[in-house]
Structure 1
Amino acid sequence: MWRRWRMIRQVKLQFLRFARLSGTPDDIAKGMALGIFIGMTPTFGFQMAIAVCFAWLLRENKLAAALGVWITNPVTAPFIYALEYETGRVLLSMERVHLPANFTFAALRPLGWEVVLPLCFGSLLYALVSGALAYAVTLRMIPVVRNWRIPRWPRRRR
């Protein structure tokens, strides 16, 4: 029966890998906070490389940073970036961008800074808040999770 629930099994395995990361809870929490901070920035596609490079430079947990980046994945990224754009637009008192009728490079070029500036400002705000929250939650969660006894999956009888 458990073999049919592959998604649940994968979630459990990823959770166990996270719980068994080597290092102190502080190191893992700093790496996770760094990864989530970078994951909230609009650098989609390069986030993992950026997180691992910064973790290496700052001597933080590289694997935790790479795991934290996955806060923005193909499912959550549109919602996160839309929220960041709207927040930045409201805080900067900018008008909402309207797409032109024809999609040519000349028509889309002026929209660049009108989209990038509020998106970057909003993402910086959300990155700071979510990075701090991730550090606090992960720091308290790692010692608790390491003490859990998680049973093995039932084996199929032959």
Structure 2
Amino acid sequence: MNLLLLVRLRKSPDEIAKGLALGVLVGMTPTFGFQMVIAVFLAFLLRENRIAALVGVWVTNPLTAPIIYALEYESGRLLLGLDRASLPTEFSFTAFKDLGFDVLLPLSVGGLIYGFLCAALAYALTLRLIPIVKTMRIRRWPRPRRPF
């Protein structure tokens, strides 16, 4: 469905690829729940394709998000030289605020690194694949004939 939506856009492959790359970049950041709003806002500001940006955000969905965020957290943690965050022993606002920082900082660093890498890859692949896919003949769903 998403690929079909991208192919049917009446934009150049470069415009579609830029929008998709922007969406993938936003999708890889730890802004789950606000990613679509952020992607549309940035696409509007940068004058990129908003529909392609929305499609790109779906790189993180409920099935892929746990894997992507775990990989980003571990990579960011290793790059920053931090220990793994552990659950607090007391239930206070300060304990959870500190836990949030211990998780959010490595997750953000890893998210930006993977975001830029995946956005560059998405741009390059989309730029090459859109012209190929647009030349393919995609059959429509058969419609029942109405009697006269």
Question: Given the two structures, how large is their TM-score scaled by the length of structure 2?
Answer: 0.91
Deviation of the 1:152 alpha carbon: 3.0
Question: Partners of 2:143 and 2:45 in 1: how far apart?
Answer: 44
- 1:34 corresponds, among 9, 15, 22, to 22
AA at the equivalent of 1:57:
L
Give, in whole Å, the separation in 1 of the partners of 2:71 and 2:81: 15
The superposition leaves residues 6-30 of structure 1 with CA deviations (integer Å, 9 ceiling, x where unpaired) of xxxxx4xx43222111211000000
2:132 is the counterpart of 1:132: no
Task: State the 1:70 CA deviation.
Answer: 0.5
How far the C-alpha of 1:151 sits from its partner, in A, is 2.3
Q: Which residue of 2 aligns with 1:20?
A: 8
Structure 1 residue 98 corresponds to structure 2 residue 86: yes
2:138 to 118, 137, 150: 150
Q: CA RMSD in A?
A: 1.7
CA offsets 1:78-132 (integer angstroms, 9 cap, x no match): 1111110000001111000111244443432221221111011000100010000
Tell me, yes or no, if structure 1 residue 71 matches structure 2 residue 54.
no
Count the aligned residue pairs. Answer: 146
Identical-residue share of aligned pairs (%): 59
Cα distance in structure 1, aligned partners of 2:65 and 2:110: 14
CA distance in 2 between partners of 1:23 and 1:152 (Å) = 21
Mapped to 2, the partners of 1:103 and 1:149 lie a distance apart of 59
Q: What secondary structure, in the 3-state scheme, does the structure 2 residue paired with 1:109 have? A: helix
SS of structure 2 residue aligned to 1:113: helix
Shift of 1:156: 6.5
Structure 1 unaligned residues grouped into runs of 5+? 1-10
Does the 8 Å CA contact 2:77/2:84 hold for their aligned counterparts?
Answer: yes
Is the 2:26–2:35 Cα contact (8 Å) retained in structure 1?
yes
Q: Distance in 1 between matches of 2:32 and 2:20?
A: 17
